[in-house]
Amino acid sequence: MRKNTLPLSTRVLRFVLPPMIFFLLFLGGWDLAVKWFEIPAYLLPGPKPVFQSAVANGRVLALASLLTAAAAAAGFLVSVVIGLIVAFLFSQSAWIQRAGYPYAMFFQTVPVVAIAPLIVIWFGSDFRSIVITSAIVGLFPIITTGTAGLTNLDRNMVELFDLNNASRWQKLWKLRFPNSIPYLVAGAKTSSGLSVVGAIIGEFFAGFGQQRYGLGYLIFQANAALKTDLMVAATIASTLLGLLIFGVVGLAGHLALRRWHHSAH
Amino acid sequence: MTGLTVADSSKMEDSYLVADGVSLEFASGVRALEGFNLTIRTGDFLSIVGPSGCGKSTFLRLVAGLLKPTSGTVTGGGVDGFAARKRERRIAFVFQQPTLLPWRTVERNVCLPLELRGGWNRQTRGKVAEVLELVGLSEFARAYPHELSGGMQMRASLARALVTDPDLLLLDEPFAALDDITRQRLNSELLSLWERVRFTALFVTHNVGEAVYLSHRVAVMSARPGRLVADHAIPFTFPRQAEIRSTPDFAALVGRVATSLGEASQ
């Protein structure tokens, strides 16, 4: 067991400092490039006007981020629940898996941009449609990792359970489910980042003409109005939102696994 | 001293397990065993050595009822259709890897067989503590497997096997992955466990020294399809001291078993 003796603040710094430095270098490079090549602001504003725009539209950006965050989180949860159910069905019989897998692939290969308008037609131009597009994008990683975790069992462990007359349910509760957790944590991390992408795509098509809207609609609107600074600010906000959701899911996974699994060390 | 054990020794009253003409052909067409005969007396420590892939492990799995023979029978434990009747069998299996569930503490790993068999209650809690004491892991009851060394993981695996009070303990090269010093220490510990608990032991290994040190008898198997080609009685009395490993008699026996193993591998 590797004990980390460094104080928590030092450990956090070690992970936070390098990306911070990189970010500052990036901002500097961006600023220099805009000035050097005299790029017009409608193409790419420098970091300063983007920041000023973010401050000026702070309330709008915050509300949009909150709404997108809620839609992405809900979409993520829906994809986890449905993904787990499908993975469970797949793990119960090779026949079901063979029959269903090509259709599960649909969620991976379908262009979300193409079906998002359909979803809006079917489910209305509101929060529900955004959650659905978000869930579709996040579903596949949960199905594949969940199925793998429920079926990739150590042969000797299965024999151990068989030798002790374990029932099908005992094998499921005491072997398959716990075995699938590290797989699912990996799948959930991928899915959590994708859920923000899905929500923003959904918002491109839903949420028009409403009082409340998310980052996707904000980007769309700013684009139409040639407010490139606000567009870039909203894009950065959606990236940060993705990172935040990824971080929360990653932390939850770490806490779930830290006692027993090597990947947590 | 190399007499083949024949099937009619099944009439011997103290035989615990009799394999009679056991053959196994996998669906892939690989013949793992052919006409394999072996008798184990109650309370004996019997080792099987043989070239890699000769079907030693397959035989253990047949005895455990995890596989069914294509022809021939495995009977024993006073139960007809030994392999088929899971409820009455009192068999435990120790795998080559410790095979501990990484999400359970040592204690919860050890109680798993009791849990699965539905015998989990306050009395069995005492049983778990008892076997952990027996293998010297009492202090590590609450540790997770990844916190233990390889040798300690294997001890936990032994404790889990012993918790059901097995009549027959099947060991499939349990110490093969360990370094030599740990292996020798665990050999001695296994012997002293066996002397205290007196289960019947069927031990598969490819380490001849280990087989001779532990066993009443060492059976030698041929290359696949596996047959019994030699059966060496090991005359040392129990309890055995670790020092016998450096005696000339011991070396001579190891040499003899190694020779028949060499012949069997050709």
Number of structural domains in chain A: 1
We report the CATH number of the domain holding residue A67 as 1.10.3720.10
B19-32, pLDDT tens digit by residue? Answer: 888 899 888 888 88
Residue B116 in contact with partner chain A when CB distance is under 8 A: yes
pLDDT per residue as tens digits for the range A113-164: 888 889 988 988 888 999 999 999 999 999 999 999 999 999 999 999 998 8
CATH 3.40.50.300 fits B7-90+166-265, yes or no: yes
**Between chain A and chain B, how many beta carbons pairs sit less than 8 Å apart?**
60
Residues A261, B102: C-beta atoms closer than 8 Å: yes
Domain map (residue ranges) of chain B: 7-90+166-265, 97-165
Query: Taking CB atoms and an 8 Å limit, are A156 and B97 in contact across chains?
Result: yes
Interface membership of B113 toward A (CB under 8 Å): yes
* Cβ within 8 Å of residue A186, ≥6 positions away: A145, A253
Residue A24 maps to a domain: no
Judged by CB atoms closer than 8 Å, whether chains meet at A164 and B103 is answered as no
Tens of pLDDT, residue by residue over A9-39, are 787 788 888 888 998 999 999 999 999 999 8
pLDDT digit string (tens) for chain B, length 266 residues: 334 444 444 444 577 888 888 899 888 888 888 888 999 988 899 999 988 888 889 999 988 888 888 888 888 765 555 555 555 568 899 999 999 999 999 999 999 999 988 766 777 788 899 999 989 999 999 999 999 999 999 999 999 999 988 889 999 999 988 898 989 989 999 998 898 888 999 999 989 999 999 999 999 998 888 888 899 999 998 888 888 999 999 999 999 999 999 888 77
| Residue A205 to chain B, least CA–CA distance (Å) | 45
Identify whether A190 is part of a domain.
yes
CA distance A3 to chain B (A): 11
pLDDT in tens, B129-153: 999 998 999 999 999 999 999 999 9
Question: Is position A256 within any domain?
Answer: yes
Residue of B nearest to A182 (CA): B103
- Give the ipTM: 0.88
Structural domain boundaries, residue A135? 47-264
Scanning every residue of chain A, which has its alpha carbon at the shortest distance from the alpha carbon of B149?
A1
Residue A221 lies in a domain: yes
**What does the pLDDT read at residue B1?**
37
- pLDDT attached to residue A107: 83
Give a yes or no: residue A179 inside a domain.
yes
